[in-house]
Every structure is written in C-alpha cells, then in structure tokens.
C-alpha cells in the first residue's frame, strides 16, 4: 500500500489529486491511500468521515459528462481537535508523499508560531512539527507535491520549513535531514473546479475535463507514483518554467488580450467571446499567429495546448465573467501579453497586429468608468495620452514609446 498525507480537503484537491490517485488505483496495481489532514479549524473532514470518505466527482464539458466514485481517501485527521493523532502520522513508515493545497497564502512563514503550539497555525509550521517527529523516529523523509498556485511552490515550502528549524532551534542534524532525505518538488497545476452542483449532496464535486499537473521532480518519480501509466495529463520535467510560460502566455494571455475587447463589445463571459465570430477570430489570431510563434516548445505541442484552451473557454458548464478577469488588467497585461509583443518584434522584426489591437482596447477600456484597478493607475490611464501611457516605465517596466504610432492606429479617435 502506498500512503499519502494530504493537507487540504477542498474541492480542488478532491477533484484533481485524489481523482488522479483513484484513476491510478484503477488502472495500475499501485493502491494509493490518502489520509487527509484538515489544515484549518473548520473544514469538511467531519462530513467526509460521515460518508466513509467516499464521494462522487463529475467531469463536465463539451466532451460530455463523466462520473467517478472516489474511494482512495482512507481517513481524516484534525490537528486542532487531536494534535496527538496528527503527530502519530509521523510513525507510519509507509507514508511517502505529501500533497497540499492550502491556498496561495498557505505557504508562508509566520514567526509568531511556536513549536509548542498544538498545532502551529501556519501550514509550514504544522509540517515542521510533523517532520521533527519523523526525524526523531529515524524514519525516511517524504516527497512533497504542493499544489498551491505560487511560483516555485516546493522551494518556498522547503524554505519555510528551514526557517522554522532556525526559529525553533531544532539543530543542524534536523536541517541536514530536511535537505538530504526529503524531496520538495515544484509543481504547476491547472484545472477549473466548479464546486458542488447539487446543494443536497454537499460532497458532490465537479470540474472541467481538462487537467494538467507539471512536476519538476526526480527521474524515478513515476516509478514510485505511476501517473504516467494512466492516460493522465501529467508531465515530469527538469524545467517547469517552460510550461509555466506556456500557461501564462497562451491561457492567461488569451484571457487578457480578449477580456477588455469583449467588454467593450458588450459581451459578458469567456464563452460569449468564443461564440461571437468577431471575438473568436481575434482570439485565435492572437494565439496562433502571434503568441505561439514566440514560444520554444514544439509547435505541435503548443497548438494542442491552445486547442485545449479554446475547448475550455467554450465549456457550457463554466460561467467565467469577463468583469472578474478584468481586475488589475494593466499589471496582468504587463505579465501576460507584453512579453509576447516584445518577443514577436524581436524574432520577426515586425509588429504583432492583433496583440497591439488588444493593447489599444486596454487603453480604451480604461477611459471608461468600468475599471477595477489601483486608483492611481486608473486615474492616470483615464487622462493620459496614448504616448504618455506607453512611455510610463512605472507601468510597463520600460519605455514603450516606440509602439505609439502602431497602437494609436487601433485606438478609437475619441480615446486618444
């Protein structure tokens, strides 16, 4: 039996990692069993326990509807109710993997945490308490697969643990054991979980079909956890950054290059943009003609990913409001779209028409009263000229004045 400790019992982990463990169990002889640790005082563990930790997960999209019974969770542990039971997990030598999803704010170091807390309030603090017990028992370390949506999540988790080791004066031996006997993998996760579709069945969980788990891990990871044998979209790599760039430039870049244009056209959702011929054509031109040519993964792989993105955007079960995505659009444009514009110019010596149209629509939208951004950014964008906006190094990190003539031709004359 392969045992997993999982920090978090929310819809994402149950519809992502646990769904994958279930498929692994069904398609191989792996036999993974998950022990869920509730990382906060209030959660769903009582409800899971009452249902023998079984629930149904539904995948829904253009591909159809598919239900799967999830039975791989064996039990739940609540550190705030029974701290001793939590520490006792360290005694079971069969535990090998630790999964987590404690939100983007979960992997943080809080110097107010004490070793004597029962438990420490932060996730890394709780984890350090468990790891110390494991070390004292002279048992093997773990492989960490954090699913928090932050860059270098594994490295940051390890850094926090070592900070607690210093704060609590746990000694060089413990710190050396953390470094040499535990593996902290950076990961990239992607799946939209749409929550419970039926209030009468609160454990019922639903998501889109698409899923992606990129793991920057050691060469033998799949020998220990055979995710590659199950037809799952799981990638083991020594360079996660390529896949993060692919996601930011194609998926997030497609959103950001389309959202404000769509709002100006009177559309409400991402699916509306797919269904609208004008916006769909703009979106596809941005992705296939101007974003993909700036990326270094194989063209076929990039195009396949882009087609998956468009299928996700068209999912009738997901109502993704453009107004929600429009939050802080200037900073998003800088990170998600501007690098594609600059790389396209660098590689091809010409201007990317459709991405610059998106830039023009960004400026037009900020002339309206519908923005949701930093007040100073909003005030500047509303009154400055196109040339002043593009030359503002505080917004873009560099002077983009060389784009002024090109962007100006796409901006509505009333907004210049």
DSSP, collapsed to helix, strand or coil, labels residue 310 as: helix
Per-chain mean pLDDT for the chain: 96
Give the pLDDT confidence score for residue 329 in this predicted structure: 96
Q: Write the CA distances from 88 to 15, 122, 128, 337, integer angstroms.
A: 27, 19, 14, 48
Residues 231 and 347 in one domain: no
Residue 241 has pLDDT above 90, yes or no: yes
Quick one: average pLDDT of 94-106? 92
pLDDT level of residue 104 (50, 70, 90 thresholds): confident
Quick one: average pLDDT of 357-363? 98
Q: What length is written for the chain?
A: 416
Q: Provide φ and ψ at 188, rounded to 5°.
A: -130, 125
Residues 205 and 288 in one domain: no
Give the CATH number for residue 364. Answer: 1.10.1040.10
* Strands 95-100 vs 143-146: parallel, antiparallel or unpaired: parallel
Residues 201 and 333 in one domain: no
Give the pLDDT confidence score for residue 414 in this predicted structure: 83
Parent domain of 188? 2-238
Give the pLDDT confidence score for residue 294 in this predicted structure: 98
Give the pLDDT confidence score for residue 411 in this predicted structure: 96
More confident residue, 174 or 413: 174
DSSP, collapsed to helix, strand or coil, labels residue 206 as: strand
Give the pLDDT confidence score for residue 103 in this predicted structure: 82
pLDDT in tens, 79-95: 999 999 999 999 999 99
pLDDT level of residue 415 (50, 70, 90 thresholds): confident
Of 220, 222, 217, 218, the closest CA to residue 240 belongs to 217
Give the pLDDT confidence score for residue 23 in this predicted structure: 98
Residues 274 and 198 in one domain: no
Residue 345 has pLDDT above 90, yes or no: yes
Residues 252 and 216 in one domain: no
Rounded (5°) CA angle 181-182-187:
155
Residues 89 and 125 in one domain: yes
Per DSSP, the residues of 120-155 read -SSHHHHHHHHHHHHHHTT----EEEE--SSTTHHH
Full-model pTM? 0.94
Residues 289 and 217 in one domain: no
Percent of the chain's residues with pLDDT above 70: 100
Residue 1 has pLDDT above 80, yes or no: no
pLDDT in tens, 126-175: 999 999 999 999 999 999 999 999 999 999 999 999 999 999 999 999 99
Which of 238, 267, 287 corresponds to the end of one domain?
238
Number of domains in the chain: 2
Quick one: average pLDDT of 47-66? 97
Residue 174: which residues within 8 A CB-CB, separation 6 or more?
131, 132, 135, 165
Q: Write the CA distances from 331 to 224, 328, 378, 385, 396, integer angstroms.
A: 41, 6, 12, 19, 8
How far apart CA 244 and CA 405 sit, in angstroms, is: 32
Which of 207, 238, 269 corresponds to the end of one domain?
238
Which of 201, 217, 238 corresponds to the end of one domain?
238
How far apart CA 377 and CA 331 sit, in angstroms, is: 10
Residues 322 and 212 in one domain: no
Residues 335 and 261 in one domain: yes
How far apart CA 324 and CA 262 sit, in angstroms, is: 13
Residues 297 and 216 in one domain: no
pLDDT in tens, 309-319: 999 999 999 99
Give the pLDDT confidence score for residue 296 in this predicted structure: 92
DSSP, collapsed to helix, strand or coil, labels residue 189 as: strand
Q: Provide φ and ψ at 38, rounded to 5°.
A: -80, 110
Residues 308 and 402 in one domain: yes
pLDDT level of residue 408 (50, 70, 90 thresholds): very high
Percent of the chain's residues with pLDDT above 90: 97
Q: Provide φ and ψ at 325, rounded to 5°.
A: -70, -25
Residues 160 and 36 in one domain: yes
How far apart CA 85 and CA 378 sit, in angstroms, is: 52
pLDDT level of residue 105 (50, 70, 90 thresholds): confident
């Amino acid at each position: 039996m392969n045992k997993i400790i999982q920090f978090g019992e929310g819809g994402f982990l149950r519809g992502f990692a646990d769904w994958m463990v279930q498929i692994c169990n069904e398609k191989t002889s792996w036999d993974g069993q998950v022990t869920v640790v509730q990382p906060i005082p209030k959660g769903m563990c009582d409800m899971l326990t009452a249902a023998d930790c079984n629930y149904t997960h539904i995948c829904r999209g253009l591909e159809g509807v598919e239900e799967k019974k999830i039975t791989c969770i064996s039990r739940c542990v609540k550190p705030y109710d029974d701290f001793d039971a939590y520490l006792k997990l360290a005694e079971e030598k069969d535990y090998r993997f630790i999964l987590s999803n404690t939100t983007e704010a979960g992997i943080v170091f809080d110097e107010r945490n004490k070793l004597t807390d029962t438990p420490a309030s932060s996730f890394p603090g709780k984890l350090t308490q468990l790891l110390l017990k494991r070390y004292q028992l002279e048992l093997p370390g773990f492989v960490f697969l954090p699913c928090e949506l932050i860059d270098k999540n594994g490295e940051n988790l390890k850094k926090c643990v070592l900070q607690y080791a210093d704060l609590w004066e746990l000694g060089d031996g413990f710190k050396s054991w953390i470094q040499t006997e535990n593996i902290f993998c950076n990961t990239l996760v992607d799946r939209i979980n749409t929550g419970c579709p039926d209030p009468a069945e609160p454990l019922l969980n639903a998501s889109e079909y698409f899923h992606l788990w990129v793991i920057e891990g050691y060469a033998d990871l799949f020998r220990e956890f055979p995710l590659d044998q199950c037809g799952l979209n799981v990638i083991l790599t020594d360079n996660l950054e390529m896949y993060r760039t692919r996601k930011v430039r194609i998926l997030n870049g497609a959103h950001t290059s389309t959202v404000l244009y769509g709002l100006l056209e009177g559309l409400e959702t991402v699916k509306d943009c797919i269904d609208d011929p004008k916006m769909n054509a703009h979106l596809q031109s941005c992705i296939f003609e101007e974003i993909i040519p700036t990326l270094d993964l194989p063209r076929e792989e990039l195009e396949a990913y882009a087609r998956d993105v468009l299928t996700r955007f068209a999912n009738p079960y997901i109502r993704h409001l453009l107004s929600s995505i429009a939050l802080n659009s200037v900073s998003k444009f800088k990170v998600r779209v501007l690098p594609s514009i600059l790389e396209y110019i660098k590689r091809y010596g010409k201007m990317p028409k459709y991405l610059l149209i998106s830039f023009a629509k960004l400026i037009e939208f900020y002339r309206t009263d519908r923005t949701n951004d930093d007040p100073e950014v909003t005030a500047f964008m509303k009154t400055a000229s196109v040339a002043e906006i593009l030359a503002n190094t505080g917004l873009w990190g560099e002077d983009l004045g060389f784009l002024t003539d090109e962007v100006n031709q796409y901006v509505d004359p009333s907004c210049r």
